[in-house]
Amino acid sequence: MTSKRKPYNTYTREFKIEAVRLMDESGRSASELAMELGVRRNQLYKWKEQLSTKGGEAFPNKRGRPVKEQQSELTTLKQENNQLREEVDILKKAAAYFARELK
């Protein structure tokens, strides 16, 4: 059985910009700042790179990841297909278990 992963943390555009500013201006190490902000160190570097390459167009969404409506239909259908396959596997195992009980 697969375990559910933790949902992604999402951060506002302002939070990301402020985190990059603190990383540049505070003089503290990225690891120290990341622990204080509750994010991964490499995430800070990723935000910094996005801000330097895209400038004002970085972080276009208010929140981090795109919402379900913005995902492509193909991605949504693949997720649904995977979930249905898991459910079918569970039902097959349950049917086999109960079939053994009847014999």
Q: What is the pLDDT at residue 64?
A: 52
For 44, other C-beta atoms within 10 Å of its C-beta total 20
Q: Summarize the chain as % helix, strand, coil (round to 5).
A: 70, 0, 30
CB 8 within 8 A of CB 65: yes
- For the domain made up of 8-65, give the CATH fold: Arc Repressor Mutant, subunit A (1.10.10)
- Match 């079918």 to its residue by tokens: 88
1-16 residues labelled b (16+ CB within 10 A) or e (exposed): eeeeeeeeeebeeeeb
- One digit per residue, pLDDT tens: the chain, 103 residues? 566 777 777 788 888 989 999 988 888 888 999 999 899 999 999 999 988 888 877 777 655 555 566 667 888 889 999 999 999 999 999 999 888 877 6
> What's the CA angle centered on 7, arms 6 and 12, to 5 degrees?
135
Predicted TM-score (pTM) of the model is 0.53
